């Protein structure tokens, strides 16, 4: 049966790679509703190629012109448009939109009984308890798209959760993995955007360089797999061939290997619980070695912040995420230096009075506050 896939964030890195998966597997997938931000040139390219039934854009002002160009497509806009896309009658919703703006539409899709292919990190970082509890209530699957969580998801398939010893999340180390902290003081934006292994959007590439991305993944793993914090480990693995591992109580370690190609994880989320053919095999005979190093929390402070936020619970992960979103935006705009990203995050986490068991409105209010300049 052909699955209808709707996509929040269709013009971004994950969204465009998801379209590639759909395009190359027309017998398995068709495109449902989509949302885009402000990249109208990319959106029009997509519309000419796919002709989706419903499209939401960020700015209402763009709708009139789009309707005149594509009269057969229904257009909508803004936050309400995101909800329309999320609740469109689909087999699966890929949430690849950037930031906490993805939270409300994800919850709306869950309430509509639509399974989620989750690529929006902020959804679980900011409101993991709310999202996962709602998914359990509605009997909705949350299938991870991040390569690390997809790897864990695959390794745990059919396993007894009582037999898990630890989840081991691998980290490439990002653009500056070979640099000392002292050397980080003079790195440039161009340097930071040059990831050694993966092709990703700007924000996630910066988050990889600071290691905040790995911190987000630790928090996501806690919510997705419901293990103790002490069971979630991170290790440096510069090749990005092993995407994550699971160690069991008998000391067996199961790993998922693959090329640095997000389409593999996207396709698995789309086909789960089955698999279909994909061209881009990993050539094991060409692998010379796989390197692993212990994680240095003094070197990668942002990862330590994430563990601290997860341990504290409540609204601290929300604040950490929002502060990071603000700081990365400032760095991308050239207004702060690289190491000031972590200074801002640490400062805002320290000044926050943590609130346990927050409701959605509290989370969204704090998110808006802490990702502003607060001046």
* 45 appears as a binding residue in the annotation: no
* 264 appears as a binding residue in the annotation: no
* 173 appears as a binding residue in the annotation: no
* 172 appears as a binding residue in the annotation: yes
Helix 316-332 and helix 212-225, axial crossing angle in degrees, nearest 10:
150
* 213 appears as a binding residue in the annotation: yes
Q: Are residues 305 and 270 in the same domain?
A: yes
Q: Provide the pLDDT for residue 202.
A: 86
Q: At residue 92, does pLDDT exceed 80? A: yes
> Residues 351-372: pLDDT tens digits?
999 999 999 999 999 999 999 9
* 208 appears as a binding residue in the annotation: yes
CA-to-CA distance for 268 and 290, rounded, in angstroms? 24
Which residues are bridge partners to 247 per DSSP? Answer: 166, 253
Closest by Cα among 131, 9, 34 to 88: 34
> Residues 290-319: pLDDT tens digits?
999 999 999 899 999 999 999 999 999 999
Q: Are residues 295 and 177 in the same domain?
A: yes
Count up the domains in the chain and report the number: 2
Domain membership of residue 320 (yes or no) is no
* 175 appears as a binding residue in the annotation: no
* 136 appears as a binding residue in the annotation: no
- Domain stop point among 280, 312, 344: 312
Domain membership of residue 119 (yes or no) is yes
Domain membership of residue 133 (yes or no) is yes
* 48 appears as a binding residue in the annotation: no
Q: Are residues 199 and 239 in the same domain?
A: yes
* 89 appears as a binding residue in the annotation: no
Domain membership of residue 298 (yes or no) is yes
Residue 281 belongs to what domain range?
149-312
* 203 appears as a binding residue in the annotation: no
> Residues 52-70: pLDDT tens digits?
999 999 999 999 999 999 9
* 201 appears as a binding residue in the annotation: yes
* 190 appears as a binding residue in the annotation: no
Q: Could you tell me if 233 and 169 are in contact, meaning their C-beta atoms sit under 8 angstroms apart?
A: yes
* 304 appears as a binding residue in the annotation: no
* 261 appears as a binding residue in the annotation: no
* 337 appears as a binding residue in the annotation: no
Q: Are residues 168 and 205 in the same domain?
A: yes
* 311 appears as a binding residue in the annotation: no
Q: Are residues 136 and 228 in the same domain?
A: no
CA-to-CA distance for 237 and 290, rounded, in angstroms? 7
* 185 appears as a binding residue in the annotation: no
- Domain stop point among 144, 174, 192: 144
CA-to-CA distance for 229 and 167, rounded, in angstroms? 10
The whole-chain average pLDDT of the chain stands at 94
The model's pTM is: 0.93
Q: Among 171-185, 186-200, 268-282, where is mean pLDDT lowest?
A: 186-200
């Amino acid at each position: 049966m052909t699955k209808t896939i709707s996509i929040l964030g269709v013009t971004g890195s994950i969204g465009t790679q998801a379209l590639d998966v759909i395009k190359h597997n027309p017998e398995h997938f068709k495109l449902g509703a989509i949302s885009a931000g402000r990249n109208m040139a990319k959106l029009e390219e997509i519309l000419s190629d796919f002709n989706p039934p419903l499209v939401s854009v960020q700015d209402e002002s763009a709708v009139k012109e789009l309707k005149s160009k594509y009269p057969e497509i229904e257009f909508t806009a803004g936050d309400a448009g995101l909800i329309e896309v999320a609740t469109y009658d689909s087999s699966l919703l890929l949430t690849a939109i950037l930031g906490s703006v993805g939270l409300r539409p994800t919850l709306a899709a869950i309430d509509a009984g639509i399974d989620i292919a989750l690529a929006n990190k902020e959804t679980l970082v900011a409101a993991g308890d709310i999202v996962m509890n709602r998914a359990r209530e509605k009997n909705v699957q949350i299938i991870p798209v991040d390569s690390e969580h997809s790897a864990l998801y695959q390794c745990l398939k059919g396993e007894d959760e009582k037999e898990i010893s630890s989840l081991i999340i691998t980290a490439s180390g990002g653009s500056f993995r070979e640099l000392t902290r002292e050397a980080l003081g003079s790195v440039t934006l161009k340097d930071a955007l040059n990831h050694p292994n993966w092709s990703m959007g700007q924000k996630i590439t910066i988050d990889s360089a600071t290691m905040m991305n790995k911190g987000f993944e630790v928090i996501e793993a806690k919510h997705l797999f419901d293990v103790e914090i002490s069971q979630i480990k991170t290790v440096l693995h510069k090749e990005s061939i092993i995407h994550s591992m699971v160690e069991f109580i008998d000391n067996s370690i199961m790993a998922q290997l693959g090329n640095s190609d997000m389409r593999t994880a996207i396709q698995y989320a789309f086909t789960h619980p089955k698999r279909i053919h994909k061209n881009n095999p990993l050539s094991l005979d060409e692998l010379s070695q796989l390197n692993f190093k212990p994680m240095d929390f003094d070197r990668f402070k942002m990862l330590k912040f994430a563990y601290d936020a997860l341990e504290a619970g409540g609204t601290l992960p929300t604040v950490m995420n929002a502060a990071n979103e603000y700081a990365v935006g400032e760095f991308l705009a050239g207004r702060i230096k690289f190491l000031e990203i972590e200074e801002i995050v640490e400062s805002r986490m320290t000044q926050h009075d943590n609130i346990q068991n927050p409701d959605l409105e509290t989370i969204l209010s704090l998110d808006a506050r802490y990702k502003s300049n607060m001046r």
